[in-house]
Every structure is written in C-alpha cells, then in structure tokens.
C-alpha cells in the first residue's frame, strides 16, 4: 500500500472504531508513538505491543462505548495527518471528550511513526 492508501484505510478503521485492526494491519512492529506531553502516560513509546497497551489504557478511561470521529486525511509524500476526536462516559459519570491532530509517517507500506498534537 502507498501512503494515500494507508491514510484512507486508517481513517476508515478509526471511523469504525477498529483500532486493533489498524494496529495489526497498518503498523510496523517497531512503530514510534509520540504524545505532546506526559498527561496520558509516557511521552514516547516504541513497538506495536506498547502502542496497543496505550490503546487499551485509553479505552479503560471510559465506562461505556465512546463515540469517535476522524476527518479525511491530508497526505504529502510519506506522511499524512488528520483531525480526530472522541467523546464517551467517564467512570465518574461525566463525559470525557477530546480531539487532536494525528500525524503518521509511513515506510515500506507500514506506519512507522505516529505523533499527536492538541
């Protein structure tokens, strides 16, 4: 897959909430994942297992299903970016909502880096 195809498929999977499928099919095993700060845990983690743990940890914030959305990606060279967001019930009954710009770098048909900006 080229970067445009990876971007399109990632957006589709995110819209369907299929993050695990995205990790399994689109991510390189040595992927680097970088947050803007440490408010959600470690700023940087490397490796698909660590990225999956981040996803599981994120899901555990919610007491019930979260609604997610993702805009179409902008693509340039081996990189793409899209705005995405979420909203769901927290364990204290309040709604947890947020949004960010996610940037992805691909190499040899896989995502090798993701960075989140908010």
| Residue ranges in contact with a second copy by CB under 8 A | 36, 71, 74-83, 85, 99-101, 103, 105, 115, 117-118
As measured in angstroms, the least distance from the Cβ of 69 to a second copy is: 12
Residue 7 CB, shortest distance to a second copy, in Å, is 11
Cβ 84 to a second copy, closest distance in Å?
8
Tokens of 17: 């909430």
Q: What is the DSSP letter of 41?
A: S
Q: Which is nearer to a second copy, 38 or 93 (CB)?
A: 38
**Buried residues in 5-19 as b, exposed as e (16+ CB within 10 A):** ebbeebbebbeeeeb
Cβ-based nearer residue to a second copy, 36 or 56: 36
CA distance 36 to 71: 20
């Amino acid at each position: 897959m080229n970067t445009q195809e990876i971007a399109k498929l990632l957006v589709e999977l995110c819209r369907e909430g299929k993050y695990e499928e995205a990790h399994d099919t689109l991510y390189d095993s040595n992927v680097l994942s970088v947050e803007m700060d440490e408010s959600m845990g470690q700023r940087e983690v490397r490796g698909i297992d660590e990225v999956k743990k981040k996803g599981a940890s994120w899901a555990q914030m919610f007491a019930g299903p979260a609604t997610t959305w993702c805009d179409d990606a902008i693509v340039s060279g081996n990189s793409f970016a899209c705005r995405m967001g979420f909203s769901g019930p927290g364990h204290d009954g309040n709604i947890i909502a947020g949004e960010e710009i996610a940037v992805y770098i691909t190499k040899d048909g896989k995502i090798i880096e993701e960075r989140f900006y908010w």
